[in-house]
């Protein structure tokens, strides 16, 4: 998974002024505890961290959706569905990965990846070659057509996000620039402590 949680940090604030502005989620009730048991300093810190995490994840999700929608509206080509785009970006970043590798990275079932592979290969965006070590294993690689398409879309998103970012106050721009490295560290920390699958 790596840094997928903040994969669209560079798409910050693509929303038009006054629209789609994130206000933060509604605050939930504090954790329930047995009668008479007071929250200690550690409990309060964890509760505050959970609240902040919820706000961050909601904001990131809003930014990603807004950036994707804005880029698709401005792009001349027919956009790919999000699931296909994710697999294509992964194949471009890791040429020669297997279906099993992709399924683990994207947190989906292998048969779901196989379906996506079939559609992308049919569109000429993904190549599927046999592994020299095991002929039953397919190795996935993004084609040159796919790489060009990804580059064009990425440049468009960056341009749209940059224009929106330039309209923000200098204070906001500095805050967002300082936040990006911390968000990446948050992603790394979450990955290191991922719970085991049940």
Q: pLDDT by residue (tens digit) across 165-175?
A: 899 999 999 99
Sign of the CA dihedral with 156 first, then 76, 17, and 48 last:
negative
Give me the mean pLDDT over the 77-83 stretch. Answer: 77
C-alpha dist (Å) from residue 21 to 58, 135, 148, 166, 188:
12, 51, 32, 16, 27
Residue 109 has, within 13 A of its CA and on its CB side, a CA count of: 3
What's the pTM value of the predicted model, to 2 decimals?
A: 0.52
Locate 182 and state its tokens.
Answer: 């911390």
Residue 98's SS3 state is strand
Percent of the chain at pLDDT above 90? Answer: 30
| pLDDT tens for each residue of 23-70 | 444 444 444 454 455 555 578 888 888 888 898 888 888 888 888 787
């Amino acid at each position: 998974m790596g840094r997928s949680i903040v994969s669209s940090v560079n798409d910050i604030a693509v929303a038009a002024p006054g629209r789609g502005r994130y206000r933060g989620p509604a605050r939930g009730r504090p954790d329930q505890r047995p009668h008479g048991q007071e929250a200690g300093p550690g409990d309060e810190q964890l509760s505050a961290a959970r609240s902040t995490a919820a706000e961050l994840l909601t904001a990131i999700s809003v930014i990603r959706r807004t950036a994707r929608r804005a880029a698709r509206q401005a792009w001349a080509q027919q956009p790919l569905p999000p699931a296909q785009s994710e697999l294509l970006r992964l194949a471009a970043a890791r040429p020669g990965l297997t279906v099993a590798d992709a399924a683990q990275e994207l947190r989906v079932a292998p048969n779901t990846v196989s379906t996506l592979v079939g559609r992308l290969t049919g569109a000429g965006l993904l190549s599927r070659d046999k592994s020299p070590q095991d002929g039953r294993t397919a190795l996935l690689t993004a084609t040159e057509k796919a790489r060009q398409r990804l580059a064009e879309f990425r440049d468009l998103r960056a341009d749209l996000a940059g224009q929106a970012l330039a309209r923000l106050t200098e204070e906001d721009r500095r805050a967002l620039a300082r936040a990006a490295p911390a968000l990446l560290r948050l992603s790394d920390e979450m990955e290191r402590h991922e719970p085991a699958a049940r």
